[in-house]
């Protein structure tokens, strides 16, 4: 036994030196938004009808394919879908460190940008510094261009996607507690 602490002791000492800034952890588990799916369905029907009704058949087909591709990409960015990069949980620990868990079970640490929108009906989190936590550190270097492209840059959180009390605690934390 030497004077220098082991690696585990150093981590415990570092965590003990941090000052807790929250009384308890904030944890959200996301579920699909029925409100968002409903509006997307109605909007898609209206877009499809207006394209087919107002354009020649060739142009309408190209426009519908473009709309389908845009919708598919947007679906990959929604919370709690079956897409591998979809976010399923978000956590803020007592030290203010924010992490999210995707459908693959990977944990990512992130910070929010000042352009984050906090509204009573929704939150729009603009993410920055998305880094893997306790995952294989070569994972991020091994990602292909489309995997990096599909990682979330912003999260739209509607009021029907998480527990009301946890969402309210996150809203208060983002509005008043988050200071850089």
pLDDT tier for residue 46 given thresholds of 50, 70 and 90: very high
Q: What are the start-end ranges of the E strands in the chain? A: 26-29, 87-92, 98-102, 107-112, 117-118, 122-132, 154-158
**Is the CB of residue 85 less than 8 Å from the CB of residue 100?**
no
pLDDT tier for residue 173 given thresholds of 50, 70 and 90: confident
Residue that wins the pLDDT comparison between 9 and 62? 62
pLDDT of 132 reads 81
d(CA 174, CA 156): 14
d(CA 172, CA 29): 17
Tokens 């030290």, located at residue: 95
d(CA 111, CA 128): 5
Tokens 């983002």, located at residue: 174
Q: Is the pLDDT of residue 144 over 70?
A: no
Q: Is the pLDDT of residue 14 over 60?
A: no
Question: Residues 152-171: pLDDT tens digits?
Answer: 678 888 888 888 899 998 99
**Is the CB of residue 162 less than 8 Å from the CB of residue 28?**
yes
Q: What is the mean pLDDT of the chain?
A: 79
Q: Is the pLDDT of residue 139 over 70?
A: no
pLDDT tier for residue 142 given thresholds of 50, 70 and 90: low
Q: How many helices (H) and strands (E) does the chain have?
A: 6, 7
Q: What are the start-end ranges of the E strands in 65-163? A: 87-92, 98-102, 107-112, 117-118, 122-132, 154-158
CB atoms inside a 10 Å sphere around CB 49: 10
**Is the CB of residue 54 less than 8 Å from the CB of residue 122?**
no
pLDDT of 106 reads 85
Question: Residues 18-33: pLDDT tens digits?
Answer: 666 667 788 899 888 8
Length of the chain equals 180
Total-model pTM: 0.71
Sequence spans of domains, the chain: 24-32+82-177, 34-77
d(CA 134, CA 11): 13
CB atoms inside a 10 Å sphere around CB 117: 12
Question: Residues 66-125: pLDDT tens digits?
Answer: 999 888 877 776 777 777 778 889 998 888 888 988 888 888 888 888 888 898 888 998
């Amino acid at each position: 036994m030497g004077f220098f602490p082991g690696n585990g002791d150093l981590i415990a000492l570092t965590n003990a030196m941090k000052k807790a800034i929250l009384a308890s952890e904030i944890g959200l588990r996301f579920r699909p938004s029925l409100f968002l799916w409903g509006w997307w369905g109605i909007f898609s029907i209206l877009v499809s009808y207006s394209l087919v009704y107002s354009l020649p058949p060739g142009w309408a087909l190209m426009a519908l394919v473009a709309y389908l591709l845009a919708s598919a990409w947007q679906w990959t960015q929604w919370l709690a879908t079956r897409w591998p990069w979809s976010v399923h949980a978000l956590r803020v620990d007592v030290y203010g460190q924010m992490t999210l868990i995707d459908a693959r079970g990977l944990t990512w640490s992130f910070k929010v940008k000042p352009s984050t929108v906090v509204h009573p009906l929704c939150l729009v989190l603009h993410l920055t510094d998305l880094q893997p936590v306790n995952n294989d550190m070569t994972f991020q270097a091994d990602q292909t261009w489309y995997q990096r492209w599909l990682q979330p840059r912003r999260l739209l959180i509607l009021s029907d996607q998480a527990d009301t009390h946890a969402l309210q605690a996150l809203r208060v934390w983002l509005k008043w507690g988050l200071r850089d």
